[in-house]
Structure 1
Amino acid sequence: MTNTHLKPIHLITAFIVIVLWGMNFVVIKIGLKGIPPLLLAALRFTFVAFPAIFFLAKPKVELKWLVIYATTISFAQFAFLFSAIAVGMPAGLASLVLQAQAFFTVGLAALIFGDRLKPSNVIGIFIASLGLLLLGSASITNSAAQVSVAGFGLTLCAALSWACGNIVSKKMGAVNMLSLVAWSALLPIIPFLLLSCLMDGVAVVWHSLTHISLTAVLTILYLSGAASLIGYTLWGKLLAALPTHVVAPLSLLVPVVGLTSAWIILDESLNQTQMIGALIVMAGLLFNVFGQKLIDALREK
């Protein structure tokens, strides 16, 4: 029988994952200072796949679903996210806006699988949408307006891609998550390299590879090893040990770490409008997860 209570080992595991995933955005920002975004993505997935696939069995899913999952989660999500941060999306805000995937997932599940939207989902989406509008308007008031708007839009595209991958994952059913992450990392490597050569130029790609810095190497190792393989492995263990409704809300702490670490390490700060927008988005996320219990309690009264 699955345990429903968080033990100390569960809290420690969750803390490690939240920190690894929250810091991920700051590390991406640092890595992009020396490597073009699509090349960085190619290198990330290269070291996610190798040597892991030599030790992990291929996930027991149809090839078409593996390809679609890799296209959405692995390729599209990170192509948009890395590009967003490269054109000026602040790392901290990226960690928050990316959580819009939760609402995209709910909406897509309703359209594709006929899942009924709960009142908490509708209210949560409405609240978070107001927050995203405020964040978007704050970007327009910045001096680098076009870059900020582009980064904001690309991050939302990354969130939608993640949501599409969630739908594919739901379609696949139970699967070894670590194996899925490693094997799905194989597919986007070549497309990322080709696109980087096309968009950045072969000379730039070659120079980036032959003059790679220690900081860039450590960035790639963090993104592939810590954030991907270790993060997903520990998260999978939590999902196996505890009910999903206990584990899933813990991911809401990722943007808290993302915003805090970006402030401390990158000196990123939010203006008043962005701060209000961020708090409203978090409120929407929280209501999406916990709001139904409140609504049911009020109905019982």
Structure 2
Amino acid sequence: MTSRDRLLAATVVLLWGVNFLAIRVGLDHLPPFFFAALRFAVIAVPAVLLIPRPQVRWRWILLYGTGFGILQFAFLFTAMRIGMPTGLASLVLQSSAPFTVVLGALLLRERLRPVQIAGLLVAVAGMAVIGWNQFAHATLLPVLLTLAAGFGWALGNIGARQASVEAPGSNPLHLTLWITTVPVLPLLAISAVWEGPTTGLQALRETFTADGWPALAALGYTAVLATVVGSGLWTYLMSRYPAGSVAPLSLLVPVVGFTTAWIFLGETPTVASLIGGAVVIAGAFAATAGARKPSASRREAPEVVTGLVDTAPRDETPPGHRAGAVPRPDGLAIRYAARETGAILTTDTGRPAEPAVR
């Protein structure tokens, strides 16, 4: 993975780590299913009206939106509402990384290098160290719900990867915006049945008061920064690298999640949690250090095309541009092809020919 992409990944980690604090604030004022629906509704409406739909099959948009939007946040918000500590939630949710690696190997036939497997195991060991200290503060049901949320996120990762492969030239942000259209109606329906048809609306009205404004700020953060910016960058990375190479980066989110929970909520991390966080960082770095470069932008050694005689005229008009003309495989046409592909022209003796047409 390039240094630039690592920096983008670090931005996602920061945004998603702080997002758990925003979720906690929002859930103090809004019921979980209704809050999750609002998170996506504020993006889905302008997306449908202003953004063209990505040219990918609906199956991948539905898989991405169902896994990432419905399953992940329905389970996560419910778990946090019934007592899952914020820091621990940020940790257990990263079970999506090993889930994604396994699903990528099983469904997409992605091959894992030994260094990736070793780094992933080290990172999971770090998570286990942190979790061992924190499980005493959470009952079993919230933990299981958060694990289910992690599996939902993994399904969403597979959908994002397949959509990006199917339309490699599409805008990752457009895909991120359009997947927000999938969870809104199902989550509103679940909210109406489970939480009551008027409960969410009543809670929303109360946010427009002096005591409720933090919920609106939390909604804005989760919708714009965590979803549009964070998920947009994540989709971009998933489009450039195998799912098994990108997913381990999410293992760094608990480090930010624990830190913000400690600073703002008073959830003091133990020494073991800090050690586990360091192990997670090391494992995630190892798991992504050997990721292959994206095929669309790799800078490989230029191809050498031999056996070409550099005797073509220097006319700047490429052959075949006249109406009805058929391009001829002469020297000038080859130069234009070389200019587009970065190939190096040589003569029959193997010596580089004159530069391709500029």
TM range, normalised to the smaller chain?
0.7 to 0.9
Distance (Å, rounded) in 2 between the aligned partners of 1:266 and 1:18: 19
Distance 1:4 1:28, change over 3 A: closer
Query: Which deviates further from its counterpart, 210-219 or 266-275?
Result: 266-275
Counterpart of 2:111 in 1: which secondary structure?
coil
Deviation at 1:62, TM superposition (A): 1.0
In the alignment of these two chains, the number of paired residues is: 281
State how 1:212-291 maps to structure 2 within 5 Å: 212=207, 213-233=212-232, 244=241, 248=246, 253-290=252-289
Distance (Å, rounded) in 2 between the aligned partners of 1:151 and 1:244: 32
Assess if the C-alpha contact under 8 Å between 1:119 and 1:292 holds in 2.
no
- Identity of counterpart residues, as a percentage? 38
- Comparing both chains, which one has the higher relative contact order based on Cα–Cα distances under 8 Å and sequence gaps of 6 or more? 1
What's 1:299 paired with? none
What's 1:61 paired with? 56
Distance (Å, rounded) in 1 between the aligned partners of 2:290 and 2:177: 35
State how 1:96-135 maps to structure 2 within 5 Å: 96-135=91-130
What's 2:148 paired with? 157
User: Considering only CA atoms, is the larger Rg found in Structure 1 or Structure 2?
Assistant: 2
Deviation at 1:41, TM superposition (A): 0.2
Q: Choose the corresponding residue for 1:180, options 172, 175, 196.
A: 175
Deviation at 1:134, TM superposition (A): 4.3
Deviation at 1:244, TM superposition (A): 4.9
What's 2:197 paired with? 202
Deviations 1:268-294 (A, max 9, x none): 12245544544444444333223899x
Deviations 1:146-202 (A, max 9, x none): 2xx322222222221111111122222123221112211112111111211222223
Distance 1:196 1:90, change over 3 A: same
Structure 1 residue ranges without an equivalent (≥5)? 294-301
AA at the equivalent of 1:155: T
What's 2:80 paired with? 85
Assess if the C-alpha contact under 8 Å between 2:91 and 2:254 holds in 1.
yes
Pair 1:189-2:180 in alignment:
no
Assess if the C-alpha contact under 8 Å between 1:120 and 1:292 holds in 2.
no
Q: TM-score, normalised by structure 1?
A: 0.79
Runs of 4+ in 1 over 6 A off after TM superposition: 236-240
State how 1:27-38 maps to structure 2 within 5 Å: 27-38=22-33
Give the CA RMSD over aligned residues: 3.2
Counterpart of 1:26 in 2: which secondary structure?
helix
What's 1:297 paired with? none
Structure 2 residue ranges without an equivalent (≥5)? 293-358
The structure richer in helix per residue is: 1
Distance (Å, rounded) in 2 between the aligned partners of 1:154 and 1:107: 20
Deviations 1:203-260 (A, max 9, x none): 42232133222121111111111222233445667889xx759x95865553332221
Distance (Å, rounded) in 1 between the aligned partners of 2:238 and 2:159: 18
Distance (Å, rounded) in 1 between the aligned partners of 2:288 and 2:108: 20
Distance (Å, rounded) in 1 between the aligned partners of 2:128 and 2:20: 22
Deviations 1:30-56 (A, max 9, x none): 110011111100100001212233221
Counterpart of 2:89 in 1: which secondary structure?
helix
